Amino acid sequence: MTHYGFLSTFPPTRCGLATFTKSLSDALVGHDDEGTVVRALDQPEDRGRPDPRARSRVRTDLIAGDSLSTLRATMALDACDVAIVQHEYGIYGGRDGDQVLDVLAALSIPAIVVLHTVLVAPTPHQREVLIEVCRLASVVVVMTTHARDNLAAIYAVDLARVHVVPHGVQHVALRDTKPHNGRRVVTWGLLSPGKGIEWGIRAMAQLADITPNVEYIVAGQTHPKVLAHAGESYRTMLAGLAGDLGIESSVRMDGRYLEPPQLAALIASADVVLLPYDSVDQATSGVLAEAVAAGVPVVATAFPHAVELLSSGAGIVVPHQNPDATAQALREIITGTSVADRMREAALRETNETTWSAVADRYRAVTARLAADRAA
């Protein structure tokens, strides 16, 4: 029996890392295993009304800038057999999230650190933090070979301790995804500047001649951190842009946080998933992984995960901030049934090893090797 510890954001926090850790912990912590979650927070929250989805697995919180919570987090994780730590610069306290270094340095158990971002052009301090994170980790996990190569080239990390384990997927819409007569482009996820939705809207304006009309659905709440300091200004700007381009009736901004059944229905209805992200560094995208797993053709900008995952033909990669190329790719898929069918077939071939149960088995294998090394 293995007792897994997890350090990350976690539900009811709504972000990609929280969803990732919830899915991984659910897959790992079965009948014979235990799980303890230390939840990363910007500030203390009232825990009088716990989210039932989080169950009783959350043992304590790591509060940004709170040294006492750092001690509590370390103690909670040290009671486990292995700690699985999600790393992203923005979720821990300190400069570039360097509070996590205090936890990693104090642990007496092995730590598997999962890197969600490997910057190609980090600041000196960002580079220093990531190098130290990798040095303190027993094993480093990345989700693409591109990220692994960047670790070697930019951060001089020992690749002997780096494992490539893909992002897990729920296969939320596999049963329902079928070709249909609708014309629907979908983007989903927490909304924030940098998602590039404005480029998607500009591309949609070039598809007004297609019959039946093409609808663009942008689904998801504004990211909580963005909402706190900028309100709904980005969403308002997007709605205004659609109006200026005369396509307000074709662009639907759905501001709900979609639960799994709602998300499954939305994905199943899509002809194309559009990911027009501005970032050139994004090493992983859960939205991309889910779209490919559902067999839906994808148009994405050339961020690393998209370049790697779509190389087999599951979608089309376009230049960043280029609505002309995006519109051309969308038109090719929407108006070419055989093109879409080939992409669906390629997408489904990609997903055999990426269910959360299969991904959890990979983490179990890494944990078993760590335990054997410790015993030796």
Query: CA nearest 293: which of 175, 151, 147?
Result: 175
**Token reading at 113:** 């650190």
As a whole number of angstroms, the distance between CA 333 and CA 297 comes to 8
pLDDT digits (tens, 9 = 90+) for 34-83: 899 999 999 887 655 555 544 468 999 999 999 999 999 999 999 999 99
Q: Would you state the pLDDT for residue 169?
A: 87
pLDDT at 99: 97
pLDDT (tens digit, 9 = 90+) per residue, 1-29? Answer: 899 999 999 999 888 899 999 999 999 99
Q: Lowest-pLDDT range, 23-27, 167-171, 357-361?
A: 167-171
For the chain, the first-to-last Cα distance in angstroms comes to 19
Contact 207, 294 (CB under 8 A): no
Does 193 sit behind a cis peptide bond, omega within 30 degrees of 0 on the bond before it? no
Across 213-218, average pLDDT: 96
Q: CA 163, CA 178: separation in Å to the nearest integer?
A: 35
The proportion of the chain whose per-residue pLDDT surpasses 90, expressed as a percent, equals: 69
Residue % of the chain over a pLDDT of 70: 93
Rounded average pLDDT over 304-310: 91
Q: Is the pLDDT of residue 335 over 80?
A: yes
Whole-number pLDDT of residue 299? 98
φ/ψ (deg, to 5) at 146: -60, -45
pLDDT in tens, 75-132: 999 999 999 999 999 899 999 999 999 999 999 999 999 999 999 999 999 999 999 9
